[in-house]
Amino acid sequence: MSTFYFIAFLSIFFSILVITAKNPVHSILYLILTFFTFTIHYILMNAQFLAIVNFIVYMGAILVLFLYTLMLINLNKDSEPRKSNLVKIAGFIGGGCFLVTIIAALKAFNVSQPVLLNNPNLGLVKNLGKILFNEYLLPFEVSSILLLSAMVGAVLLATKEPKTV
């Protein structure tokens, strides 16, 4: 039980560091740590398939993509012009109002039953694969088209267009 609270503290801590780090590279590294704590959350809920997919897709693919982009656009001159304090305070108030609203709604609904894992093989690959390829076969195929079109779009956007002078 205390494992969850420790990992939850770590994820909140690292995600605060993500948005406050001055250097974007440090912020990406903190984001990797945050996603690692999310993987531990998935394992604690016995969602093993999602833990592995989170580990491979987010930490392996997406964050490497972020690092490569940061390497391509070479930010050595100046990291980032700071926003004025007014905008920062407004941002904190906006996010804080959102959080207060959610917490107030949570208090009003008053759900506090414990999360029980009734079916121990709920998140295993075998069970999820059966559901994915029986009920959700069409969305699965459509997502492959989505990935293909995203790949084509990324290549089209990122290639240099020839000079038309």
Q: Which of positions 14-53 make contact with another protein (CB under 8 A)?
A: 15-16, 18-19, 24, 27-28, 31, 34-35, 38, 41-47, 49-50, 53
If one asks whether residue 60 binds another protein (CB under 8 A), the answer comes out as no
Give the total of residues touching another protein (CB under 8 A): 89
Among 88, 104, 137, 141, binds another protein (CB under 8 A): 88
Among 92, 104, 137, 141, binds another protein (CB under 8 A): 92
Among 76, 108, 118, 163, binds another protein (CB under 8 A): 118
DSSP H or E run through 155: helix 137-158
Distance CA 122, CA 47 (A): 7
If one asks whether residue 165 binds another protein (CB under 8 A), the answer comes out as no
**Phi, psi of 78, deg, nearest 5:** -140, 140
Among 120, 138, 163, 165, binds another protein (CB under 8 A): 120
At CA 18, angle to CA 55 and CA 34, rounded to 5?
25
Name which of 91 and 164 has its Cβ closer to another protein: 91
Binders of another protein among 97-116, rule CB under 8 A? 98-99, 102-103, 106, 111-116
Nearest to 27 by CA among 41, 17, 37: 17
If one asks whether residue 75 binds another protein (CB under 8 A), the answer comes out as yes
Task: Decide if 7 contacts 37 (C-beta within 8 A).
Answer: yes
Nearest to 4 by CA among 44, 31, 33, 34: 44
Task: Decide if 30 contacts 21 (C-beta within 8 A).
Answer: yes
Distance CA 66, CA 100 (A): 32
Binders of another protein among 128-147, rule CB under 8 A? 128, 131-132, 135-136, 139, 143, 146-147
